Amino acid sequence: MQSNPIEALKHQLDTLCETDKTGFIRLTIPCQVGNLMGWLNVQSVYPRLYWKARDTNTVECAVLGAIKAFDSLAALQADLAVLAQAGGQQPNYFGGMAFDPGTPGWEHFPACHFLLPRIELKRHQGGATLSLNLRFDDRSPGAEITQAYACLDALVAEQPLPRLQPLVYQREDRPSQQEWVAWVGQVTNPDHLVHTPKVVLSRETCLTTPETPSPWALLARWQAGAADCFHFGVQFTPQEAFIGCPPERLYKREGRHLMTEALAGTTRRGQDAQQDQALADELLADKKNSLENQCVYQQLLTQLEPLSSQVQMGEAHIVKLRSVQHIRRLIHAELHRDVTDQQLLAVLPPTPAVGGVPRKSALAFIRQHELHQRGWYAGVFGRISHTSSDLAVAIRCAHIGPEAIRLYAGAGIVAGSQPDEEWHELDTKIADIMSLLGMG
C-alpha cells in the first residue's frame, strides 16, 4: 500500500478535529493492496485479526488494534444498542468465544472477546479501502484523536509473506489412540447411549519445533486450498496466533433473517470422480453419519423454535472439501423482532456438531476425559454488527505458539461409531494443514 491513503486519512482526521465529534465515526479512503495477510504480517499494532466469510464475493477484512473490546456478550450487546440508538454509521465487531467457558481455556484467550478495531483494511469486488475508526461517546476527544494519529503513524507498507520453511516437527497426540479407543467404547456403551446419544470427542495434535512459521504465511497457503470455507486468524499478542479454515457456519443474520446449518457426518475424498461419488452416496445413506447430522439439526430446530416465527430446513446434501466430504442441511428462520446476537450466542453454541446431545451430559463427559484445553477450538469466530452478523464454528484450526503448533480435530461419537474409523476421521480432518507443514 502506498503512503498516500494514510496521508489522506490524516487529512480527514485534521478536518474532523474542527467539527463536532459524537458517537462512532469511520473515516474511509480507497487504497490498493496486494495481499491482506502480507500487510497484517508486518504491522506492529495488536491485536491483528483476519476474517473472510464463506460466501463467494464476500468482503475480506484485515483489522488492527482495538478501540473498544468486550469480554461479555451482554456488554457487547449494550454497545450495539447504544450506537444503533444514536443512528449513523454502525461498526463491525470481530472476535470469538471459547468452546466451554466453564474450563480454564487458553491463556490470553478470554472465554468471550469481541473488539471494535482501530484500523480496517477491506477488499471486495469493487476494490480495497482503508478505514480509521473513532469513538467519542465515552472518552476525551483529544486523547482519542491523538491515539488515532499514532496508530496511523505506526502503519507500515505491505511486504511479501515469508516462505514456509521445511521444519522438523515432533508429533504428540492427546489423547493417544489407545485412550481414544477406550473413550469411544464408553460413549458407545448402550448404558451411556441411553442418556447421551452423542458426544463429540476431540484430539490435540501437538507439533513441537524450535521455530514456528509465520501464522499469516501459513493461513494464506491454507486458505488458497480451502474454498467454501471461512478463513480467520487472530493474534492478541506477537507470540501466538489462532488460525483456521472452518467449513461450518454457526449462523448468519441479516436483519431478522437467520441462516444456519447442520454440518456433521464425514467421509474422505475419492481418488477419482467415480470413487468420490460412490463415497458421497455411501455417506448420505449411512446410518451412523446420518445420526450425527440429525443430532445437530434437531437441536438447532428446537432452539430456534421459540426465537423465530418460521423455521425451514432443506434436504441433506454433500459438501466437498479438499480432503473430506460432509453431510449438510441448511436452515432458514425469521427471528422475532427483539431477538439479539447475545441471545443467539447464549443459546446456539456449542452445537452438537462439536459438543453433543444432551449438551449438559456431553460436556460433562468431555470435561471429565479430555485433558487438553479446547480453548477457542470448537468455539465461535466471526463478525457482529447491528444490521448483520456472520459467525463460524471454529473447527479445522491451529494454535501457533513460539515452540509448538497445536492442531485440533473432533469426531461425533454416536451409536455405531467404530473407534479406529473415528481416529482415522481425525487424521483426514487435519490432512490439509499437515500437508502444508510438510507432514502429510
CB of 411 to ligand ISC, least distance (A): 4
**Does the annotation flag 425 for ligand binding?**
yes
The answer to the question of residue 244 lying near ligand ISC (CB under 6 A) is: no
Q: Are strands 60-64 and 308-313 parallel, antiparallel or unpaired?
A: unpaired
Single out the catalytic residue among 60, 120, 240, 248: 248
* 179 annotated active-site: no
Contact 261, 331 (CB under 8 A): yes
Cell 433473517, located at residue: 257
Amino acid at 45: V
CB under 8 Å to 300, separation ≥6 — which residues?
260, 262, 331, 348, 351
CB of 290 to Mg ion, least distance (A): 11
- Select from 5-13, 54-62, 263-271, 355-363 the region that touches ligand ISC (CB under 6 A): 263-271
Of positions 410, 417, 433, 434, contacts ligand ISC by CB under 6 A: 410
Helices 177-187 and 359-369 meet at what angle, rounded to 10? 150
CB of 410 to ligand ISC, least distance (A): 3
Single out the catalytic residue among 122, 198, 252, 429: 198
| Of residues 200 and 207, the one with the C-beta less far from Mg ion | 200
Q: Which does 437 bind (CB under 5 to 8 A by kind): Mg ion, ligand ISC, none?
A: none
- Select from 78-86, 88-96, 357-365, 408-416 the region that touches ligand ISC (CB under 6 A): 408-416
* 198 annotated active-site: yes
The answer to the question of residue 356 lying near Mg ion (CB under 5 A) is: no
The answer to the question of residue 409 lying near ligand ISC (CB under 6 A) is: yes
Q: What residues pair up with 263 in beta bridges, in sequence order?
A: 328
- Select from 27-35, 97-105, 162-170, 403-411 the region that touches Mg ion (CB under 5 A): 403-411
Report 4-23 residues binding ligand ISC (CB under 6 A): none
**Does the annotation flag 120 for ligand binding?**
no
Amino acid at 318: I
CB of 292 to Mg ion, least distance (A): 5
The answer to the question of residue 266 lying near ligand ISC (CB under 6 A) is: yes
The answer to the question of residue 433 lying near ligand ISC (CB under 6 A) is: no
Report 238-297 residues binding Mg ion (CB under 5 A): 266
How many other C-beta atoms can be found within 10 angstroms of the C-beta atom of residue 409? 22
CB under 8 Å to 237, separation ≥6 — which residues?
46, 108
Local structure of 369: helix, strand or coil: helix
Of positions 412, 432, 433, 437, contacts Mg ion by CB under 5 A: 412
Q: How far apart are CA 140 and CA 150, in angstroms?
A: 16
The DSSP output letter for 57 is T
Contact 377, 395 (CB under 8 A): yes
CB of 200 to ligand ISC, least distance (A): 5
Comparing CA positions, the residue from 407, 412, 406, 355 lying closest to residue 379 is: 355
- Select from 131-139, 155-163, 210-218, 403-411 the region that touches ligand ISC (CB under 6 A): 403-411
The answer to the question of residue 265 lying near ligand ISC (CB under 6 A) is: yes
The answer to the question of residue 411 lying near ligand ISC (CB under 6 A) is: yes
CB of 241 to ligand ISC, least distance (A): 18
How many other C-beta atoms can be found within 10 angstroms of the C-beta atom of residue 353? 29
Q: Which does 409 bind (CB under 5 to 8 A by kind): Mg ion, ligand ISC, none?
A: ligand ISC
Report 284-343 residues binding ligand ISC (CB under 6 A): 292, 326
Contact 231, 398 (CB under 8 A): no
Q: How far apart are CA 304 and CA 76, in angstroms?
A: 22
Comparing CA positions, the residue from 270, 267, 286 lying closest to residue 324 is: 267
Comparing CA positions, the residue from 103, 101, 104 lying closest to residue 72 is: 101
How many other C-beta atoms can be found within 10 angstroms of the C-beta atom of residue 413? 30
Catalytic residue numbers read: 198, 248
Binding-site annotation, residues: 292, 425
- Annotated binding site for Mg(2+): which residue ranges? 292, 425
Interface contacts to ligand ISC, rule CB under 6 A: 200, 248, 263-266, 292, 326, 353-354, 395-396, 409-412, 429
